[in-house]
Every structure is written in C-alpha cells, then in structure tokens.
Amino acid sequence: MKAEIKVSGIVQGVGFRPFIYRLAVSRGLKGYVRNLGDAGVEIVVEGSKENIESFIEDIRREKPAPAVINRLDVNFQSREEGFREFKILESLDKREKAGSIIPPDIAICDQCLREFLDPSNRRHKYYFITCTLCGPRYTIIERLPYDRPNTTMRDFEMCPECFREYTDPSNRRFHAQTVACPVCGPKALLVDCRGKEVPCRDPFVEAGKLVSEGFIVAVKGIGGFHIAASTLKSEPVRKLRKAKYREQKPFAVMGRNLEAVETFAEVGEVERRLLTSPERPIVLLNKSREYYLAEDIAPGLHNIGVMLPYTGLHYLLFEGAREEPALIMTSGNLSGEPIISDNEEALKKLSRFVDYFLLHERRIAQKCDDSVVRLVDGKPTFIRRSRGYAPAPVRLKVKLKRSVVAYGAEENVTACVAFEDKAFLSQYVGEVERLEGVEYLDRTVRHLLRLTGARPERLACDLHPRFASTLLARKHAEEYNCSLSQVQHHYAHALSLLAEHDLEEILAVVCDGFGYGVDGKAWGGEILYCSVDEWRRLGHLEEQPLLGGDLAALYPDRMAYGVLAKAGYEKAEEWLLNRSRWLPHGRKEAETIMKTFEKGRYLTTTSAGRILDAAAAILDICHRRTYEGEPAMKLEAKAHHGRRVLDLKPEIEGGTVKTSGLMIALMEGLGRFRVEDLAYSVEEYLAEALAELACSEAERLGLKAVGFTGGVAFNHHITSTFRRRVESRGLKVYVNLQVPPGDGGLSLGQAFKAGMEK
C-alpha cells in the first residue's frame, strides 16, 4: 500500500522532516519526505495500510512542539513504487496551495542552552547556537522552501563537523538549516562609534562590560538592533533619551534571569509563563515596592517592560555585565523610524549617541521588533504582536470568500494577508507617517504575499483619506488590479472581535485616541452595533472642543481648557493662564486658545483618549505628550494606587455619555482628595458610564455579546470595571486576545470585512 500525504501549516523550519524521517524508519516504512515551495511538506510512504494509518496518527500526536498542522491530506493507492528506504529528498520549488507559513523566531531551547553553558561542548558560548527546534526563522528567510540556500545562512558554508551533524539522522541538528559553530558560523566584532574595531577576546562579554561601565552599546540581534545601557546608572539613560527624542517614553529592559527580575518587579504565575515561553515577549510588570532600577527608565509609571534573554548572545552580554540585574534593551532606531537591521545604516544613524557597536556578519532578511504583552483583567493582552508570534496565523472559524491584504492605519501598523480560514499578521511595522515607514510596510506586504503564496483579490485600509497606509493601499490596488475597501477605524476594531471570537454580531464599545469618522470628525469613544454586513453608531462620548486639532493631543491643557470652557466653568481662563508655562509659547498661546474657543473656530472630538488626557492635565500628572498614550498611561499609574472618592453616577442623554460634569468634579476635588483617588474616580466613571449605555443598547437590540476594544482597552482598571458592570447584567464581554486591541489589531478587522464582503 502506498500513501501520498500533504501537510500544511507551520511545518517547515521546525524539525518536521527529521521527525517524519525518524518516525517512518521506526515503523519500517519506505518512501520520502520533502519540503514544497508553498511552505508545506510532501510525504510518500509504502507499507501496510494499518502501519501507515498508525504512522499518520503519530504525526498528529507526536509532532515537534513548534509545528502546527492546519491540514493533512492522504491519498491511498494500491500501486507501489518499490522504495528501498526512507529518505529526505531535495526540496521542490513548486507550489500546490497557499496556507502554510514559516514559523516565527523561537528562543534558545533548553538543550541548546545546556550546550552553550557546557565548557566541554564545541559550541560552548557560541552566540548563534541553534537546532531544529529553536533559533531565527522568519527573520532569515528570503524565499521558499525553507532550506539554507533560501536563507541568509547561505553565506556560511558548513564545516565538516556541522555537516556531519546535519546529515546524521540520530543527531538533533539533522537537517537544521541554521546549524553553525565557531568554526563556520557568522563572526562578531566590537567597533567604536567611528567603525574602528576594538581588539578583545570576546566581543559580547566586552560589550557587556562597557554597558556596566556606563557606555551605550548598539547590539545587533536576530531581528534588528537593540540599544543597550545600564539600568543602575541614570546618566546613560538621560543621554539616550535626549538622543532618541524620548523625553519620557519608557525603555524596555532585559532581565538577567527570572530571579533577578523578581528583585525589582512583581511576577505572577501567568507573567512567569510568558517571560519563559519560547516566544519570550516583553511583559509589562508592576514595579515592586523594592524597585531600585534607575527611575528614568520608566518615569511616572507603575510598571516596566521586561523580557528575558532569548539568544546566546544575550547570555554573553550578562556575563560581561556581572553587576547588572537587567540591561536597557530598547529598539535600535531613530524616533518615528523602523528598527535598523543593517550594520552600515546603524553606524550612520546611531553613532552620534551610541559609544560602541556589537556587530555580526549574518544579514537580517526581515527586521522584527520585540513583542509586548501585559495582563489586562487577568488575561494576556498584546500591546505589540511581533517577534515570536508573527507571522503565525490567527485561525478563523469561517472561510473568507476571497484573498485579501489589509494595511492598518497610521500608528502601530501591522499588515494582514488573509484567505480561507487564516489571517497572517505581519510583524510590528510601527509608524508609517515617514517614507521609511511606508517603504517598510510596502516590503512587509510583498514578503508576506511571497511566503503565503496568496494572490490578493481585494485590499483593505482605513477610511482616512490622507493616511500613508491608505495611499499605499491605493497604489497596490492598481498594481495588483484589485478592488479596495476602506473600513471605518472603529468598525475595524469591532470587526477584529468578530473575527477572533466567531461572532455574527456584537454591541461594541470602541475607545481610543483618534479615528476618522464617517462624518469627517475625530471619533474615539463609540458605541457601535456591528455585524460583517452592517454597522450603526448608537452612541458616543460627549463631543468636546479639540482646540488646535492635533496640538490638543500633544498639549493636554488645550483639551482640558476646552472641556472646562464648554462646561461653563467660571475659572477656566484663569486655570489656563496659570498653566501657560506648559505651552510652547506661554501666555500668548493661552490667550490665542481662549480666543479660538470664543469664536467657535475649532473641531470637536468624542475621543476617550482625549478625556483621559484632559484629566491628566487637570490633576497635574502630564502637561505635554512626548509619546503616544503618555497622559493616559501616567493617569493609570496614579489610579493604580487610588480608590473611588467621587460619587458620580453615569450621566447619559440621548446616547451621549456626558464628560463635562466629570471634569468639573475633578476641579472641585482638587485639594480635597488625593490625586491618586481622583485619577481612579475618572477611570471608574468612564468605565461605568460606557458599560451602562452599552448594556442599555444591547438589551434594546436583544444582543448578548458586548465587546470592549481600542487603545483604552489596555487599561486594566477601565477594562475590569467595564466587564464587571456588563456581566452583572447577564451579558457576555469579549476582548481581543489574539491581536492587540489597539491599532496593531486593525488590519485583522479590515481583512475580515474585505474577505467576507459579497
């Protein structure tokens, strides 16, 4: 009996062929296994039908841990070809179907780490130690099938010893495409800011020493450059902030190990699992009472982003930085630009503030930032879905009607290629306002299409006519001869919930900083009825003056004054003048703001983000936004230590949640209550009022599903309060779990809409 087996999913780059080889040989089956150009695997075996069926069952049950089998098709034939043995054949370029994908990068496994730490092992302290189950995958692949000549490892010919391992079926590096050692693998070197090599025995250990001495070092990793600095010294942190124009934005850190992390942060069981998982994301942890790292790392916040080492090179850095419990490990880029992955570009752009560069020879095919996760209402929630997760697909419960590509919005951008029941989200692209970001998005879309083998039939983007992502989607629509669907921003957020949870309809509360509304206004606090076929705006937060447009988002005092003045607060002008020092042009600018309001020359917004900004300004928590979400994040940090003191019941009129009274109550509470308690009360009011309106509308429409999404859904207090209120009314709450609730998840919603359209 002969069986032809086709397997699709994540089955290349995860040790699947060696696994099949060993399994077939142990069953006495003859035939072959080989990779296909569609990222799938073809298996042909001969033997008894009973033995083959047992073999197939074991494929599903015993597959390598990183492998994902989406589909396994079997064609039995009575005619045999008379194979004499079982072999791994050379891969074929041919594509039979789309749907498989290269796996994400995988952190160093326990076996490799043991070898790395073993002085008797020939790969002792070799920074690029990998095997069939760990190491870079997505960041080194240039084309399919996944074989060494199609990756950036093709630049390094295997030495005889590595080749022996590669061809030995009993070796765990059998057919490991990334196999390398100190003899034949990529070499590393340490250079100064002028590019001159620094003589040293071990560049990684020396770089760690330099970091601990207070120098700033750019470190080339597997997906791009990190910028490393000490966590115990404030001076390099301040220098880094000034150079990267990140006055207040928090820096992520890499802990030496879990025990070291627990000396400065609170680590729960779920967070522990995330930190030590093969994906190794950055996890947002609450600072402990004994927090002792430099305060400038995450100023004004109650939490800090922490990850653990995920390659051998990181362990070597800590060997050099012996006294450091953690190292700052932030993305190596300039403000507003993508992460840098090229040696020459890094030297050119970063040398004005980086003291040393730790470089290696391996090219990075696909740049990839670290993923970021935090616990929100007890559930792991993506802030950024990237390294370790992308481009693994989100599995849909329904089949899309056509293949689509979606482009996200303007910030925190990801692309999405979706077809059949799979949505492949790209790594984090980030901002696409500048040319560098647009080019990165362009390359990412094209690469994802190549890897998935998808042929787009429709494209999807944001409704905003001037977003760079919208313009790129229009350009691609012409190039690929596709129709283009523009999906309203908040509807796309809600659609991501429908896609994730297989819902036909939902009452969605979508809260964020900005989204272009169908009326051309700035939306951001919306109550929507949504299905795939239709959506309606049922309610929203009260429209408030957006004095100066985008400037109101940068300078929260503008927003606060607008709300207070609209509410008729008598001392609004006096309040603004007293805070004019926070405005770029001082009192003159404050007077201009007041005149603008008097003449009614302003836009309005329903944004929940802007209301949180206004509260942060009134409470003297934040007067200038230096990074996205800063006022709201610092408000949340204060609220983390607060309790409710304002006895405000939700004020709702005709589908509008009133917020003016809330701001007046804040002003009146100043001096009477702690800032922490007022901050807590603001978040509590918004969550309760939104929940009240959502429940009323859901009950009126006979809906049982209520969703909460958008950037505000990152706020633990608001999300948990909203959930409790809604569930107390007997309704089910849905939140994003597989993609970020912020704009990083928009492309999934856009793709779902375009893929399901008639």
Domain boundaries, the chain: 2-88, 188-360, 540-734
Reference 270, options 373, 372, 388, 390; nearest CA is: 373
Pair type for strands 705-709 and 656-657 = unpaired
CATH node for 2-88? 3.30.70.100
Question: What is the rounded CA–CA span in Å between residue 101 and residue 10?
Answer: 6
SS3 152: helix
Residues 6+ apart with CB under 8 A from 584: 555
Hunting for tokens 């917004």 — which residue is that? Answer: 605
For the cut 70, the answer to whether the pLDDT of residue 156 exceeds it is yes
Beta bridge partners of 350: none
pLDDT at site 737? 97
Q: What is the sign of the dihedral through the CA atoms of 499, 504, 510 and 515?
A: positive
Instruction: Determine the average pLDDT of the residues in 664-674.
Output: 97
pLDDT at site 89? 93
DSSP-derived letter for residue 155 is G
pLDDT at site 442? 98
DSSP-derived letter for residue 413 is B
pLDDT at site 468? 97
Instruction: Determine the average pLDDT of the residues in 9-15.
Output: 92
CATH C-level class of 188-360: alpha beta
Instruction: Determine the average pLDDT of the residues in 157-164.
Output: 98
pLDDT at site 244? 72
Instruction: Determine the average pLDDT of the residues in 530-549.
Output: 97
For the cut 70, the answer to whether the pLDDT of residue 98 exceeds it is no
Q: How confident is the model at residue 147 (pLDDT cuts 50, 70, 90)?
A: very high
- CATH 3.50.50.60, domain 540-734, yes or no: no
Instruction: Determine the average pLDDT of the residues in 690-713.
Output: 98
Q: What is the DSSP string of 582-651?
A: GSTTHHHHHHHHHHHHHTT--EEE--HHHHHHHHHHHTTS-SS-SSTTHHHHHHHHHHTT----------
pLDDT at site 97? 66
Question: What is the rounded CA–CA span in Å between residue 469 and residue 413?
Answer: 9
What phi and psi, each to the nearest 5 degrees, are found at residue 527? -110, 115
Question: What is the rounded CA–CA span in Å between residue 390 and residue 277?
Answer: 15
Output the average pLDDT for the chain: 95
SS3 389: coil
Q: How far is CA 162 from CA 20, 175, 361, in A?
A: 21, 10, 18
pLDDT at site 283? 98
For the cut 90, the answer to whether the pLDDT of residue 599 exceeds it is yes
Tokens of 368: 């990839």
Q: Do 422 and 404 touch, CB atoms closer than 8 A? A: no
Instruction: Determine the average pLDDT of the residues in 491-498.
Output: 98
Instruction: Determine the average pLDDT of the residues in 76-84.
Output: 88
pLDDT at site 245? 65
DSSP-derived letter for residue 702 is T
Q: What is the pLDDT of residues 165-203, one digit of tens each?
A: 999 998 999 999 999 999 999 999 999 999 999 999 999
Instruction: Determine the average pLDDT of the residues in 67-83.
Output: 90
Question: What is the rounded CA–CA span in Å between residue 607 and residue 599?
Answer: 22
Question: What is the rounded CA–CA span in Å between residue 372 and residue 381?
Answer: 9
Instruction: Determine the average pLDDT of the residues in 706-718.
Output: 98
For the cut 80, the answer to whether the pLDDT of residue 377 exceeds it is yes
For the cut 70, the answer to whether the pLDDT of residue 96 exceeds it is no
pLDDT at site 674? 98
**Ramachandran assignment for 594, one of left (phi > 0), alpha (psi -120 to 50 degrees), beta (any other):** alpha
Instruction: Determine the average pLDDT of the residues in 340-353.
Output: 96
Q: Which residues of 674-685 are buried (b: 16+ CB within 10 A; e: fewer)?
A: ebbbbbbbbbbb
Reference 361, options 590, 579, 127, 54; nearest CA is: 127
Neighbours of 568 (CB within 10 A): 9
Q: What is the pLDDT of residues 381-427, one digit of tens each?
A: 999 999 999 999 999 999 999 999 999 999 999 999 999 999 999 99
pLDDT at site 261? 98
Pair type for strands 326-331 and 372-376 = unpaired
Q: What is the pLDDT of residues 207-248, one digit of tens each?
A: 999 999 999 999 999 999 999 999 999 899 988 888 776 788
pTM equals: 0.95
Q: What is the pLDDT of residues 561-597, one digit of tens each?
A: 999 999 999 999 999 999 999 999 999 999 999 999 9
Reference 344, options 361, 329, 331; nearest CA is: 361
Q: Which residues of 403-417 are buried (b: 16+ CB within 10 A; e: fewer)?
A: bbbbbbbbbbbbbbb
Q: What is the pLDDT of residues 428-439, one digit of tens each?
A: 999 999 999 999
- Percentage of residues in the chain having pLDDT higher than 70: 99
Q: Which residues of 277-306 are buried (b: 16+ CB within 10 A; e: fewer)?
A: ebbbbbbbbbbeeebebbebbbeebbbbbb
Amino acid at 253: V
SS3 217: strand
SS3 475: helix
Of 635 and 295, more confident? 635
Same fold, 188-360 and 540-734: no
SS3 569: coil
